[in-house]
Amino acid sequence: MKFNSKLVHASALAAMVGLMSLQVGCDEHAGAKISGAFFADAQDVTASVNGKISEGKFKEAQDEGIAFLNDHEDKSGQLAWALAKASAKLGNHDLAIKYAGEAFKAGAVSNVQLMSEPMLEPVRTDIRFTSLAAGIDAPGPDAAASPAASASGAVNATAGVEASAGDVSVMLPD
């Protein structure tokens, strides 16, 4: 049996070209996945966002996570938790508190984790955040400017005035 060397060579060349085109397609898809265009689910995006956070790329992490949430859901709350941290580091308290609340409501984090996460230090004194961590319905966005806005008072005829702020309550004499 005699082989035609030109035919074998041409077949091998065609096979190599075919494999190279498959490789290029894989590389394009891999690049798209890294850029966020083809993420399969919130878990993939969360991993990417957390990677960017660990590199100190907070703005990129925030943009990627928010873009994903425009069209998808994060039922686990893990992406919201990552976005809370990135937003806090960027000084965006409103977004940090919003996403921390979503993560808390989804069960992704506990109130202890909310108060102990170092990246959330910038928002820890915001009354909306402390209310969230205490399990109290958070006041509206205007409450951030006025911590006293969440304080309330009531008169008790026998003991005096009861004042409360968040989960702290004090009985004052008349």
User: Which structural domains are found in the chain, ordered by start?
Assistant: 39-147 (1.25.40)
Q: In Å, how far are 12, 30, 49 from 61, measured between CA atoms?
A: 45, 19, 5
Mean of all residue pLDDT scores within the chain: 74
Q: Is residue 138 scored above 60 in pLDDT? A: no
Q: What's phi and psi for 13, nearest 5 deg?
A: -65, -45
pLDDT at 134: 87
Could you give the angle at the alpha carbon of 59 between the alpha carbons of 123 and 75, nearest 5°?
A: 70
Percent of residues in the chain assigned helix, strand, coil, to nearest 5: 65, 10, 25
Q: What is the pLDDT of residue 27?
A: 44
pLDDT at 166: 61
134-to-1, 35, 77, 110, 115 alpha-carbon distances in Å: 85, 38, 18, 10, 9
The percent of residues in the chain predicted with pLDDT above 90, rounded, is 47
